[in-house]
Chains A and B, each alone.
Chain A
Amino acid sequence: MWQDITLQDVLIVSTLMFFSGVYGFLTRRNLITMLMSVELMLNAVNINFVAFNYFLHPENMHGMFFALFVVVIAAAEASVAIAIIIGIYRRFKSINIEDVSNMKY
């Protein structure tokens, strides 16, 4: 069963996940959804870390640690991002990305 799963399978899943994230990030206009897409990308990377660690270097735990680290950072980052989004909402009364384009020119 699960022993049959190869590195390749996991990578396919993570790639799909990553590009779903990319797609979401590029097409969604809602900041929250975009944030979720970013999380999706991060988690795709996490899967890669864990997978590489498990399949290629099972004797040490660096990949696991790195994934854990990313999870923690992602949590912090998500809270900061949401704080920013709330800030943006307060200012623009909208969390539509197209309304927040003051950084041009």
Chain B
Amino acid sequence: MSFLLLFVIVPLLTVIAILFSKDIKQTRWIAAIGMSVQLLLSAALILMYLKIRAAGITDDFVMVKNLVWFPSLNFNLTLGVDGISVSLIALTSIVIFAGVFASWQMENLHREFFISLIVLATGVFGFFITIDLFAMFVFYELAVIPMYLLIGIWGTGPKEYSAMKLTLMLMAGSALIIVGLLGIYFHSAPDGGLLTMNLLEISRHKIPENVQNFLFPFLFVGFGILGALFPLHTWSPDGHASAPTAVSMLHAGVLMKLGSYGVFRIALFLLPEAAHNQGSLFLILATIGIVYGALGAIMQKDLKYINAYSSVSHCALILFGLLMFNRSAMDGAILQMISHGIMTALFFALIGMIYGRTHTRMINEMGGLLKVMPLLGAAYIIGGLASLGLPGFSGFVAEMMVFFGAFTHADTFHRVVTVLAASSIVITAVYILRVVGVFLMGPIKDEHHLHLTDASWWEKLSVGTLLLFITLIGVFPHFVTETLIGNSLAPALERLMSNF
């Protein structure tokens, strides 16, 4: 019994416990306890991981454990983590923890809601703890499917349409991914040995370059759809706008990172030559995504749409950093995954809370809310400042590392895309300040808003947790980039750089 397996077992036990709950109070407390345990588990995992590294073990993946699954096809449930997956597991547990508290008053079909939410989280945890491609794929699907129900049943606005669009687009991504994975599987043993889906074993051999070139677009685009790669990002604004609060948080915060993690772990790591051959094409798409998402956000009026477009921009920066193939930029990209995960979860949580009070998300129907709800308003401003890359918060460090890494390429193409990407810091400032100025500051527009209340304790807990981590990472980035991630990037970098 591996420690890592607990990350899947605890949520499943929580789901079973929720089945027997009597009312919403019990349900939410069970969920809260389960996810707190999960948070503690990830703290323990970080400590264990650091201890293992401190003991001088330099394996690419640690705590590796092989559980046989389909022996005939050699599909196994291979568990194993490195610094990157450890930090993403921590991110997931932070976001789901905050998400449970953000949906504290989900009265409608509460049991089903929390079960779907936690099943979704289970899928995400599972994805991060395995290093077997097939198992990863299964967990990926497990994470995507509850999304349909969560948006379709508990959403707002044109929820069926959004849910359908989101699920179908992600399923199309899955179809591409499975093609890519099978392609890798059938080339995993060029010397005639046993075919395998195990990441480590595949990485021992070189997949022929023409095969790589064929498979790379499947995997990159497949995972890219989830990572909001331009122009396949359109599920995200509609999906996020319709989804209930906790689902938006989890989806934008964690699920989109599954996409970028997949790009990093599978597409770039296993197909390095193809990554070099086709990198510039996707780099252009990522750059467009960064600028385009930010410009698109300027003109939106719905808070959730603004945040969704901002997510498109920020997630494109992750892909941008990954495609720079060097230490600093990739470090930055990983940090951006964590940073954006927490930040966007914070935004969606706050938007949900504000919407719950004002019953509108249109910024021009609100005004001066800072006076009525100083805590939520201040949290939104802090989140906004973090999002526009203010030093002291995690986003700044991530952006800087990406830009520095990008700037080490001295050719014109990279310079141009870097300057374009960097220009997003101004555009981001424009839309963030515009939103803050319109709906939080200024005079109060709607006098009904005068009687609104500020955050309740569960909301404070949810928002406070997220704010705490944004600041901690921003002030002590060293811990994440050096202590936690450290040399975990080295294998990928080595493969990417070896022939160039």
Query: A and B: direct contact (Cβ < 8 Å)?
Result: no
Tell me the A residues contacting B by CB distance below 8 Å. Answer: none
